[in-house]
Amino acid sequence: MQSIAVVNQKGGVGKTTVTLGIAEAASASGMRVLVIDLDPQANASSGLGIWNARPSIDDVLAEARAGSVNDAIRPSNWPEHGPQPDLVPGSHLLAGREPLLAADPVGAQDRLRLSLAGVDHDLVLIDCPPSLGLLCINGLFAAERAVIVTEPAAWAADGVDLMHNTIERVAGRLGAPRLAGVVVNRVGRTRDNRYWCEQLHDRFGDLVLPQIQLRAAIAEASGQSTSLRALGKRPGAAEAASQFSELWDSLSEVRTLNPASEEPLQSDQPSMPSTID
C-alpha cells in the first residue's frame, strides 16, 4: 500500500479536485484506490456521490483502534463502467473532532495512521482540510508522501513554504511523509497566471509536478458527482483526464526514483521578488 496526503492550509485551491483526479487516473490504470475524506466539508465524498454516510471518518477517529478504518470503507457512486475508487466518507461532525483529539495525550496525531492497519488497497489518498490543525497533522502522520496543491496566484509560494515546513517537521520525527511535489492547479491563459507559474517554478524547481489547467469540465465532473471519463465527449473532459494521468504517472515515477527509505527531499528556496517588472 502506498499513501499520499493532499494538502494546503488554504481552501479552494483544488485539494479535493486533485485528490479525485489522481484517484480516477490511478483507478483507470487498474489500481485499487481508497480516498479518505478528512475535511469536515466532505467535498471528496460528495464528488464521489456519497452524502451523510455512516460510519464516517469521524466514527473512525472517535476510537483509537488499529484497523478501525476498514469498517468504514465503501464503494463510490461513480458510474459502474468507469473507474470506481473506494471511499472512507467525510462528515461535518469532524469539525468537532479536533478538540477531542487534542484531549488525547497519547494518540492525538497518529489515530488515522493507527486506523489504517490492514488496509490492502494499492493507493490511499487522504484529502486534507484547509488548515494546519490536528486533522491535517493526522493526515500527514498517516502518509508516506505529501502533495501540496496550489494556484498560480500572489502569495501562493509563501503558502507552499509554510506547508512544506510543516511536512518537514512531521518527517523530522517520523521519517515520513516526504514531499512528493507541488501541483499548480487552475492554470489559466492569462499573463498573471503565467507570471505566478514561473515564480513557482523558480522557487520550487524540480518539485513542481505536471500542472492542471482551469477547465469547466473539471468543475462539472465534481458538480455532477462523477468521473471525468463518465463525462464522455464533453469538451475538455478527455484533456483534463489526461492531465491527471500525466500527474499520476509523474508521481509514480518520482516514487520509483526516490524510494521511501531515503531522507525526505529538500527543496531549494531562493527568495521571491515582491513586484512584477
Among 212, 230, 241, 265, binds ligand ADP (CB under 6 A): 212
Q: Is 68 in the site for ligand ADP (CB under 6 A)?
A: no
> Would you give the binding string for ligand ADP spanning residues 25-64, x where CB under 6 A is met?
------------------x---------------------
Q: Which of 3, 4, 7, 15 binds ligand ADP (CB under 6 A)?
A: 15
Calculate the alpha carbon distances from 188 to 23, 235, 245 in Å. 23, 16, 19
The string of DSSP codes covering 47-101 is HTT--S-SS-HHHHHHS--TTGGGGG-EE--S-TTS---EEE---GGGGGHHHHH
* Residue 81 CB, nearest approach to ligand ADP (Å): 23
- Residue 218 site contact among ligand ADP, Mg ion, none (CB < 5 to 8 Å, cut-off depends on kind): ligand ADP
- Determine the interface stretch with ligand ADP among 26-34, 202-210, 217-225, 269-277 (rule: CB under 6 A): 217-225
- Helix, strand counts (H, E) of the chain: 10, 7
Length of the chain: 277
Say which DSSP state 187 is in.
B
- From Mg ion, ligand ADP, none, interface partner of 154 (C-beta below 5 to 8 A by class): none
Candidates 5, 7, 8, 15: give the one binding Mg ion (CB under 5 A). Answer: 15
Could you tell me if 219 and 47 are in contact, meaning their C-beta atoms sit under 8 angstroms apart?
Answer: no
- Does 235 contact ligand ADP by CB under 6 A? no
Q: Counting contacts by CB under 6 A, is residue 100 touching ligand ADP?
A: no
Closer CB to ligand ADP, residue 15 or residue 97?
A: 15
Dihedral sign, Cα of residue 83, residue 60, residue 4, residue 139 = positive
- Per DSSP, 208 falls in state B
Nearer to ligand ADP, 159 or 175 (CB): 159
Cell of 94: 469532524
Restricting to residues 35-94, which ones interact with Mg ion according to CB under 5 A? 39, 43
Residue least distant from Mg ion (Cβ): 16
Question: On the CB side of 81, how many CA atoms lie within 13 Å of its CA?
Answer: 5
Q: Taking the CA atoms of 211, 12, 222 and 177 in sequence, report the sign of the dihedral they define.
A: positive
Shortest Cβ 139–ligand ADP spacing (Å): 13
Instruction: Give min distance, CB of 3 to ligand ADP, in A.
Output: 18
Measured CA to CA, the distance from residue 38 to residue 136 in angstroms comes to 8
Q: Write out the residues near Mg ion by the rule CB under 5 A.
A: 15-16, 39, 43
Q: Write out the residues near ligand ADP by the rule CB under 6 A.
A: 11-17, 43, 130, 185-186, 212, 214-215, 218-219, 222
